[in-house]
Chains A and B, each alone.
Chain A
Amino acid sequence: MKNRSTALQITLTILPIIVSLVITAVLIMAVGSDPRAVFEKVWEGAFRDERSISQVINFWIPLTLVSMGLTVTFTAGLWNIGVEGQMMLGAVFASWVALYTTLDPILLVPLEVLMAMAGGMLWALLVGVLKTRMGVHEIFGGVALNALANVFSIYLITGPWQPPEGGSIQATPPFPEGALLPPLSDSFRVSLLALVIVGLAIVGVVLALRGTRWGLQLKATGKNPRSALLLGVPTERSSLTAFMVCGGLAGIAGSYRVLFTYGSLRPLVSGGIGFLGLLVVLLIATRALWAPFVAFAFAAILGGSTRLKIALQLDASLAGVLQGFLVLTVLLSNGLRQRLNRGRAAEPSAPTPAEALATEVAHHE
């Protein structure tokens, strides 16, 4: 019996990956291509040489930043779909500094990153206030503010910030060299500063969620806002601070896209990385420490798919298809596992997480 159940658990862990790969392979065949060639291309595109690996890391950096931020909002029970817009506003604020400030790079780069944080926080705070004070659910506030951030950045690119040679909807003029994050080396183009910031973000979020009163209050707010409020948790403050932390990290992620990846502001500069962060967090729930690893797998798929169009005339949205099926099948198989476990034994039930948490919070006070 014991062995059978272990085998079942392992099957249910691997099954989603196999199912997603099979569905994706069938789709690739349906559009008249060879799945093996495609998967090989994606693997090569991600891990062939220093250049492709550095490209993966350049997706991993912003993705990990937003994933850490979204772990915070998720812990507080918030659906921060507005993360894309928060990235875009961070990018806009950083671009503003990059285009119109002349300072020594030692001061300029930190100023850009700080302004990006401020921009992301501002946009996140708007979503938060719309939710807590105005009764607009954060999903709708977020979707609208994403679109508005994009409209705003396109307006800047085609209007006030257009290149002197005339308007285009492609990009602003390239930023001066000193405004950009320097790469580690010519063959391994990754920013050291960004890696340090990502490291700090990972440690900071994990510690804050585990060991601080604030983290505990977020958890309480997330599990059951009403009883949290009754237990004396300032739920509005928890929600708003969670939004701001996430917005700040998303802002930095956005600044990385303009200060390193592109070197100028472009439309939809977030490139779907914010939404991808939401998928990462749906997979890991609130286990913050897993975020960098899952983000790496997603970044590899993303980075590996960028050359599909040129090599095999296939749309790069294949990455999104594979990632989407992965997350969907993992959640469905989690549900299946719980259902099978429930059916097996009617053991005396442990206290529910909400109950356990309530006791925990009460003791902490």
Chain B
Amino acid sequence: MNEELLNILRSVVANATPLVIASLGETITERAGVVNLSLDGSIILSAMVGFVAALASNSPLVGILVAMLAGMIIALIIAVADIELKQDQIAIGFILTLLATDLATFAGQDYTRIPGPQILTTPLPVLKDVPVIGPIFFNQSILTYISYLLVFGVWFWLFRTRPGLAHRSVGERPETAFARGAKVNRLRYIYTAAGGALVGLAGAAYSLSVKPGWATPPNMQGDGWIALAIVIFGGWHPFRVVLGAYLFAGLRALSSAIQRSPDIQIPIVLLNAVPWLLMIFTLLLVSSGGIDRLVRVLPRPVQKWTRNFLRSDPPAALGTRFEPD
């Protein structure tokens, strides 16, 4: 396989890493029935504090931990507001999106465009020499390896373990889960915090690896919304979520490759529309009406398969409050 293509695919995987981590975090949270809408702001703020902490301590690890803490705190504000104070989680999440972005811009104003510590690429011995797969997947940073583990870890947790079953049931049928002895709200706290920590990790993956450093306006702005859409496209299933993130990063790479090609006369600025058109298109595709329309024009043998593949049902109790009486 040619070298250049391998390089492009390698960078697609690298660039998709924060999206993978953030959308897995949100999957964990939403599977417990809570929406953390603050992703775009959370990622930006944790990217900033992660970068500054890594710079001050000269240790990327400290940066990562601080970023995760920031993501977790924001998520916990949403959980407390929802569970204890009965405030709308969408409203709080939206406020936090704006607030976290402004907070990052203000508090990070002295740290823009300065070099700082980065997480370097660490090729994995043996695995890196596997043809094709090695150079694409195993010549990456440690955060990307963590993202692989997370994908399988989250899948295994949700679908193969007993606490994972309770986790899902809290998001699907909290009353039933409660009757069976699950501590619904406590579990929601735990999974909202865990999801938020991963969102924070995604922020660190930007500022310490994918888009190193800090700038205003933040150069990862918008990706939080993309991650939220990927969770829907992914049908709240870790494997499909990851597929969505890679597809998305791939198409983005493709559009910037088109941008560089001299034969195609498209104004460069219009290519910035691609991610957003893609977002609307994918959400249309997995909406129930969209699937129906698509299935109608397909040949019969693949109809059922397509429907099952594209079906994307949210956790039944997503965004609702649970009040034990």
Q: Which A residues form the contact surface with B (CB < 8 A)?
A: 27, 30-31, 79, 81, 130, 133-137, 139-141, 143-145, 147-148, 151-152, 154-155, 158-159, 275, 278-279, 282, 314-315, 317-321, 324-325, 327-328, 331-332, 334-336, 338-339
A11 shortest CB reach to chain B, Å: 16
When the two chains form their complex, are residues B94 and A81 in contact, meaning their CB atoms are under 8 A apart? Answer: yes
Among residues of A, the one whose C-beta sits closest to the C-beta of B228 is A140
Q: How many A-B residue pairs have CB under 8 A?
A: 137
Please, which residues of chain B bring their CB within 8 A of the CB of A134? 284, 287, 289-290
Interface check B161, CB cutoff 8 A: no
Q: DSSP class of A's interface residues: helix, strand, loop or mixed?
A: helix
When the two chains form their complex, are residues B92 and A155 in contact, meaning their CB atoms are under 8 A apart? Answer: no
Please, which residues of chain A bring their CB within 8 A of the CB of B273? 147-148, 151-152
Interface check B267, CB cutoff 8 A: yes
Please, which residues of chain A bring their CB within 8 A of the CB of B277? 144, 148
Given contacts A147-B273, A148-B273, A158-B267, contact A324 B98 (CB under 8 A): yes
Among residues of A, the one whose C-beta sits closest to the C-beta of B93 is A139
Q: How far is B84's CA from A275's CA once the two chains are assembled, in angstroms?
A: 26
Q: How many residues of B contact A (CB 8 A)?
A: 45
When the two chains form their complex, are residues A282 and B105 in contact, meaning their CB atoms are under 8 A apart? Answer: no
Q: How far is B106's CA from A314's CA once the two chains are assembled, in angstroms?
A: 8
A35 shortest CB reach to chain B, Å: 13
5 closest pairs, A vs B, by CB? Answer: A335-B85, A135-B287, A324-B99, A320-B102, A317-B105
Please, which residues of chain A bring their CB within 8 A of the CB of B134? none
When the two chains form their complex, are residues A325 and B85 in contact, meaning their CB atoms are under 8 A apart? Answer: no
Please, which residues of chain B bring their CB within 8 A of the CB of A324? 95-96, 98-99, 102-103
B247 shortest CB reach to chain A, Å: 17
When the two chains form their complex, are residues A140 and B290 in contact, meaning their CB atoms are under 8 A apart? Answer: no
Q: How far is B82's CA from A339's CA once the two chains are assembled, in angstroms?
A: 12
When the two chains form their complex, are residues B276 and A147 in contact, meaning their CB atoms are under 8 A apart? Answer: yes
When the two chains form their complex, are residues A141 and B280 in contact, meaning their CB atoms are under 8 A apart? Answer: yes
Please, which residues of chain A bring their CB within 8 A of the CB of B216? 315
In the complex, 12 of the A-B residue pairs with CB atoms within 8 angstroms, ordered by the A residue number, are: A79-B94, A81-B94, A134-B287, A135-B288, A143-B225, A144-B277, A154-B272, A159-B269, A315-B105, A320-B98, A320-B102, A335-B87
Please, which residues of chain A bring their CB within 8 A of the CB of B283? 135-137, 140-141
Given contacts A135-B287, A331-B92, A339-B86, contact A151 B81 (CB under 8 A): no
When the two chains form their complex, are residues B87 and A147 in contact, meaning their CB atoms are under 8 A apart? Answer: no
Given contacts A335-B87, A339-B85, contact A159 B267 (CB under 8 A): yes
B322 shortest CB reach to chain A, Å: 16
Q: How far is B270's CA from A315's CA once the two chains are assembled, in angstroms?
A: 30
Q: How far is B288's CA from A152's CA once the two chains are assembled, in angstroms?
A: 30
Among residues of B, the one whose C-beta sits closest to the C-beta of A308 is B106
Q: Which of B96, B267, B287 contacts A328 (CB 8 A)?
A: B96
